[in-house]
Amino acid sequence: MVDGLDGSGKGVIVNALQKWAEQKHLKVFDLRAYCKEKNRFPEPEEINGFDVIVSCEMSYCWIGSALREEIVRKNNRQYSITSTAHAFSLDREILYKRVIIPALKQGKYVFQERGVISSIIYQPVQGNIPLTEIMRLPGNKLALQNSPNLLIIAQVAPETVMQRLSQRQKQDKAIFEEINFQRRVEQRYNSQWLKNLFENHGSKVVYLNTNFPKTVEETEEEAIKIWEDFLEKN
């Protein structure tokens, strides 16, 4: 699992891992592309012949589409933090039950951009909701019970994030894309309590700095090295 600030290079890292798998002649199922095209999750038999699943949260169908296109977009409807937290949890629960857990049980690799860590980080900053309540939600609880073996946290300065987001061709127009929000989120990603939380759930936590002057190619190389070192030791 790869997580971090918006614009921190998460997609670059996950795509680098996908390239690694393809170079190893592993059969890759891109769940992101599938959900965008089909507007649904695959049936279990549709992923049986694959070695690797490339996934993301929010998903690109069902509850995930509602999150992307309505709930976390800048508009005047201002959905409550409780509604937002429950929507993320439900999207996650469906993803894990339909795809992630079956894939892991079949011994597949899963490379995923964002996950339950994002809810743990973002939602207490977004609104007045206790962390304990977030962690009790069914989808979040399920994801923590199936925590990633390896968690890569991309580290970048919030000022760099805002610059990168402004230069994107496709604007998400998400409610989180504000500098003060990103600064508060950064503190939580870098906190010892977060590292301890995931280590206590069995995850190895590694930080990957993506600040300038590091290039995209250097970030890709470092991500693959982190992954290969993890495989070698496990």
**CA–CA dist 201, 146 (Å, integer):** 8
Q: How many domains does the chain have?
A: 1
Which CATH number goes with the domain that contains 61? 3.40.50.300
pTM for this one? 0.94
Neighbours of 7 (CB within 10 A): 23
Query: For 170-200, what is each residue's pLDDT tens digit?
Result: 655 566 778 888 999 999 999 999 999 999 9
Q: Average pLDDT over the chain, rounded to whole?
A: 94
The domain in which residue 217 lies consists of 2-233
Instruction: Report pLDDT for 165.
Output: 77
Q: Is 118 a residue whose pLDDT tops 70? A: yes
Instruction: Report pLDDT for 169.
Output: 64
Query: For 125-170, what is each residue's pLDDT tens digit?
Result: 998 899 999 999 999 999 999 999 999 999 999 998 888 878 766 6
**CA–CA dist 189, 192 (Å, integer):** 9
Q: Which residues pair with 28 in a beta bridge?
A: 52
